[in-house]
Chain A
Amino acid sequence: MILLPDEAVEAIRLHGRESYRDEACGVLYGHAAADGKHVLRAAPMVNAREDERHRRFVVTASDYRRAEAEASRSGLTLLGFYHSHPDHPAFPSRYDLEHALPFFSYVILEVGGGEPKEMRSFVLSEDRGEFLEERLERKES
């Protein structure tokens, strides 16, 4: 399970709307506990793709390193990443799967016609073969 505070949900929805028709992406910081991942903060990142930004995103290695450094500086854990699917449902693609890492939560937001819609979260299965949907809960902050 992944728990997102209201303000993180709103930040992701806003980012998805502002970046529409491009894919927006960002990082989730928080704590991993026995009952699930507790997100404290969602921070936007740069989609560094040169092309096809309406259906692809990439966070560069150096931006990733900065995110890790930021997490360890603030005593938090990198819990995963979010990205938007402009005009496309909030389910991971084959491409998402090929590029997925274990442990991380992949939160996907559908942005249809410029408006944020459904949000779902997925984690990679242990054999890398598929994505498993995890329960996404919103909590009042």
Chain B
Amino acid sequence: MPVKVLIPTPLRPYTDQKEAVEIEGARVRDLLDNLTERYRDLRKHLFDDSGKLRSFVNVYVNEDDIRALDRFETAVSETDVVSIVPSIAGGAASPVAVEGEVTFSKEEIQRYSRHLIMPEVGMEGQAKLKKASVLMVGAGGLGAPLGMYLAAAGIGRLGIVDFDVVDHSNLQRQVTFSASDVGRPKLQAAKERLSGINPHIHIEGYETRLSSENALDLFRDYDVIVDGTDNFPTRYLVNDACVLLGKPNVYGSIFRFEGQVSVFDARRGPCYRCLYPEPPPPGLVPSCAEGGVLGVLPGIVGSLQALEVLKLVLGRGESMIGRLLVFDALQMKFRELRQRKDPDCPICGERPRIRELIDYEEFCGIPQAQEVERKMGVPTITVEGLKKLLDESDDVFVLDVREPHEWDIVRLEGATLIPLGRLPHEVHRLDSAKDIVVHCRSGARSAKATEFLLGAGFQRVRNLEGGILAWADRIDPSLPKY
């Protein structure tokens, strides 16, 4: 059965000016063979002397580049339309003298020798890396391998946006930091570490929270933006700023045992909003602080992001644009999902509705959720109040609604453990005549438990504000925090 092949304007002189021809073939390879058999002069424009498809010739089956399908082995049938699509390229003859022409010292040549001996990188590629500027948003779990590998590989200008302080709980995965860095600004510690790894590069730090006010100004001066953040408002903000400025966004995210990697570039493929048009309701998808994350996972995901950055800068290989890689560490499986550009995407679609940065906290429903939480208004008690109560009375029932594995980490003396999910079944263990104080890690789950108990008829029940973390901060600093 013949398949319809669309011919681009410049090749029509070789197909008797036909825009479309019908060619027999079950695979793309057969089609191209039969096409160039019928129109012999086409061959030299499609293939180079060694018989390889010329680098600027793309073949599409319907809307997909065959590189994203099975290449020449891609099966075709009479219902498919195959298009030959050139990409147009060109440029000036030799590197023109621009300010700051790249040169390398003897030390740099030694340092980069494993790159330089690969023809795919070589001096030309290494010069591209040195000329490149990459902005990392976040210096945490993903930022650790990203920063260290990008610095080591010789990215000439590396920007870092982070306003956090190194905490003990970071050290399990944020390998940029040493135990002695705890309490120091992450930015300061990361800058020291990265310039220690490679003194030949330029590192610029921005100790600020990325916001709709500063994002465009921060991003404007960089070639590539890398998203190493862990929350939805910032993720949408990074995406939108990149789309508006026309910059690639190398995306990674991690949660518990799973990671995701992609490259969003609205000029060449989908953006984050094409993939996730709406944020999940607040609280539905827990952050790493709430749900945990396996220590090595950010090392893998962040390293994959670093690789994608190098490929973009070098212009080598096949970028993750239009593909989402999902990594499951427990099964040790990588899955790849094809992503399409959404023509109705509110920012990169055909009729964009978002033309400037918006309020991303609002967009993700966070103030609204806090308002609901505030209105829920269960009675609360501060940790100081609980301390006083315990000191004065023996009739206080401290109910811990966390999970058993959290109980194993740290617990309040004299407390009783009933995980939130078990509470309806074990409510008979509580004495309504006593003062009940409910706590969890930080106060959110215990608010739900308190609300449930009030509904079940308990009257002397209160939620411990800030949970066991607040207790460790303000009452008993000997307790570990997690």
- B95 at the A/B interface (Cβ < 8 Å)? yes
- From residue B146, how far is it (CB to closest CB) to chain A in Å? 18
Which residues 34-88 of A sit at the B interface, judged by CB distance below 8 A? 46, 48-52, 54-62, 64-65, 68, 71-72, 77-78, 81, 83, 85-88
- From residue B293, how far is it (CB to closest CB) to chain A in Å? 31
Contact call A61/B65, Cβ cutoff below 8 A = yes
A60 to B322, CA, bound (A): 14
Which residue, of A51, A85, A93, A104, has the highest number of chain B Cβ atoms within 10 A? Answer: A51
Contact call A96/B98, Cβ cutoff below 8 A = no
Which residues 79-100 of B sit at the A interface, judged by CB distance below 8 A? 83, 85-98
- A2 at the A/B interface (Cβ < 8 Å)? no
**What is the size category of the interface that chain B forms with chain A?**
35 or more
Contact call B92/A55, Cβ cutoff below 8 A = yes
Contact call A103/B95, Cβ cutoff below 8 A = no
Which residue, of B89, B92, B93, B131, has the highest number of chain A Cβ atoms within 10 A? Answer: B92
Task: Give B164-175 as 1s and 0s: 1 = Cβ < 8 Å from A's Cβ atoms.
Answer: 000000000000
Given A55-B91, A58-B88: A50 in contact with B10 (beta carbons within 8 A): no
Given A101-B10, A103-B13: A55 in contact with B96 (beta carbons within 8 A): yes
Contacts of B312 in A (CB 8 A): 50
Contacts of B246 in A (CB 8 A): 46
A46 to B267, CA, bound (A): 8
Contact call A51/B223, Cβ cutoff below 8 A = yes
Residues of chain A touching chain B, judged by Cβ–Cβ distance below 8 Å, are 21, 23, 25, 46, 48-52, 54-62, 64-65, 68, 71-72, 77-78, 81, 83, 85-88, 91-96, 99-104, 106, 128
18 more CB-based (< 8 A) A-B contacts, given A46-B246, A101-B45? A21-B98, A49-B315, A51-B315, A54-B92, A54-B96, A56-B89, A60-B267, A64-B87, A78-B8, A85-B92, A87-B96, A88-B92, A93-B92, A93-B93, A95-B91, A99-B88, A101-B86, A103-B11
Residues of chain B touching chain A, judged by Cβ–Cβ distance below 8 Å, are 8-14, 19, 44-45, 55-56, 58, 60, 65, 83, 85-98, 128, 131-132, 223-224, 246, 248, 267-268, 312-313, 315
Query: Which 4 A-B residue pairings sit nearest by Cβ, starting from the closest?
Result: A93-B93, A56-B91, A88-B92, A101-B10
**Can you list 23 A-B contacts with CB-CB less than 8 angstroms, sorted by A residue number?**
A23-B91, A50-B248, A54-B92, A57-B88, A57-B91, A61-B65, A61-B85, A61-B87, A68-B8, A81-B88, A86-B92, A87-B92, A87-B97, A88-B92, A95-B91, A96-B90, A99-B88, A99-B89, A101-B45, A102-B45, A103-B10, A103-B13, A128-B45
